Amino acid sequence: MPETSGGKPETGERGIGLAEDASWFFGNIPVVKKNFEQVVIGIIVVSLLPMVYEISKREEATRREA
């Protein structure tokens, strides 16, 4: 693992390690294993919510200006 001058792992590497540990942990939960497709769809939907929110906010602002 490359290190910064301070001898600590870089922030991106810590994030990758955290994501890897979280995926191992959640992947071993029986409910997640049984419903993996629904879990993936849920992750996709949740990750799209900020985009939908920003688009709706912009549309509302556009309507108010008109």
3-28 pLDDT per residue, tens = 555 566 677 888 899 999 998 998 89
How much is the pLDDT for 48?
A: 98
Residue 9, class by beta-carbon neighbours within 10 Å (0-12 exposed, 13-18 middle, 19+ buried)?
middle
Distances from the Cα of 63 to the Cαs of 12, 13, 55, 58, in angstroms? 40, 44, 12, 9
pLDDT of residue 3: 52
Is the pLDDT higher at 23 or at 48?
48
pLDDT digits (tens, 9 = 90+) for 34-47: 999 999 999 999 99
Q: Alpha-carbon distance 44 to 46, whole Å?
A: 6
pLDDT computed for residue 6 by the predictor: 59
pTM of the model: 0.61
Two tokens, residue 42: 């849920």
Tell me the three state secondary structure of residue 23.
helix
